[in-house]
Amino acid sequence: MNRLKSASLITAMKTPFSQTGEIDLAIYDHLVEQQILAGVDGIIVGGTTGEGHLFSWEEHLMLIAHSVNKFSDRLVIIGNTGSNNTREAIKASENAFATGMDAALHVNPYYGRTSIAGVREHFNRVFDIGPAFVYNVPGRTGQDITPDIIEPLSKHENFIGVKECSGNERIAHYEKQGIACWSGNDDQCFDGRHKFGSHGVISVTSNIIPGFMRKLMDENDAELNERLKGLMGWLFCEPNPIAISTALMMTGAVSANFRLPYMALSKEQRQEGFDLLSKLSSKDIIGSSLSLLNDEDFNYTS
């Protein structure tokens, strides 16, 4: 638990795909190695950024097991085994913990939703399987996990903390009670860390500039934070992970293959990102070279 709570920079890993839409493990391994070189503490496998919601459970568990086998000696491995189906979340968590992952990431039941009592019981059941983070992202689930729900849940022995997307005031409220919180919003994570006392960030942006995100967590460098705000904002110009996937394709870090329903940013949006990335040194960006790419360069698979 101490190792998990000391992880201040956790990357929500991008999953690369081949031309036929399969998970490209060779490129994935290279991406993770770049994260390790930059000093990242842990990774989320198959989260929203990693497009786990587009995986079969077989793919999902394979990628978690692969990550454990290759990287668990150097990184905290957190598997996204959450579901809006409690039975499914339990089974996935049992299988993923059997592969050796360090912790699970769990979201509250989305779309169909449930009562507050149902949310509490859902989390208690999945916490019984092993150490877990709660992911509160009301913009995607349609339901805020409020302090009156989190505070009793935090007493469970397998509760690690919260990836919180409801702002720094909420994070400060939890941290004052000893409830560990990680920012789920990259553009707020610097203030969250240095002004509001967060444990760190679970980051999308660190896929492409992990070294800078490491500095933002370790150093009170407001100038660097200000310099990166434009890029952070651009990475969320469309629902995540569209922009980060497009960006990594533009830098040559991953092949230009999308699984539908995701599609590349428009050329105008790519130009904006190109201009922002061009202001940074190539040594600070994941990838071999920066290009705008043409619309026909992108491949789409179902």
pLDDT of 107 above 90: yes
Question: Which run of H or E residues covers position 28?
Answer: helix 25-37
Please write the tens of the pLDDT for every residue from 15-48: 999 999 999 999 999 999 999 999 999 999 999 9
d(CA 71, CA 73): 5
Secondary structure letter of residue 179 according to DSSP: -
Is 135 among the residues known to form the active site? yes
Please write the tens of the pLDDT for every residue from 233-265: 999 999 999 999 999 999 999 999 999 999 999
Residue 247 lies in a domain: no
pLDDT of 271 above 90: yes
How many other CB atoms sit within 10 Å of the CB of residue 300? Answer: 14
Residue 11 lies in a domain: yes
In which band, very low, low, confident or very high, does the pLDDT at 279 lie, cut at 50, 70 and 90?
Answer: very high
Range of the domain at 191: 2-219
Task: Read off the pTM.
Answer: 0.97
- State the pLDDT at residue 295: 98
Residues 243, 265 contacting (CB under 8 angstroms): yes
pLDDT of 1 above 90: no
Residue 190 lies in a domain: yes
- State the pLDDT at residue 2: 87
Residue 298 lies in a domain: no
How many other CB atoms sit within 10 Å of the CB of residue 302? Answer: 7
- The residue annotated as part of the active site, out of 14, 28, 135, 174, is 135
Residue 288 lies in a domain: no
* Beta-carbon contacts of residue 268 (< 8 Å; ≥ 6 apart): none
Residue 226 lies in a domain: no
Residue 230 lies in a domain: no
Residue reference for tokens 């240095």: 194
- State the pLDDT at residue 151: 98
pLDDT of 65 above 90: yes
Please write the tens of the pLDDT for every residue from 7-19: 999 999 999 999 9
Is 267 among the residues known to form the active site? no
How many other CB atoms sit within 10 Å of the CB of residue 190? Answer: 26
Average pLDDT over residues 213-217: 98
- The residue annotated as part of the active site, out of 5, 28, 111, 163, is 163
The CATH number assigned to the domain holding 56 equals 3.20.20.70
Residue 227 lies in a domain: no
Average pLDDT over residues 196-218: 98
pLDDT of 179 above 90: yes
Domain count, the chain: 1
d(CA 95, CA 91): 6
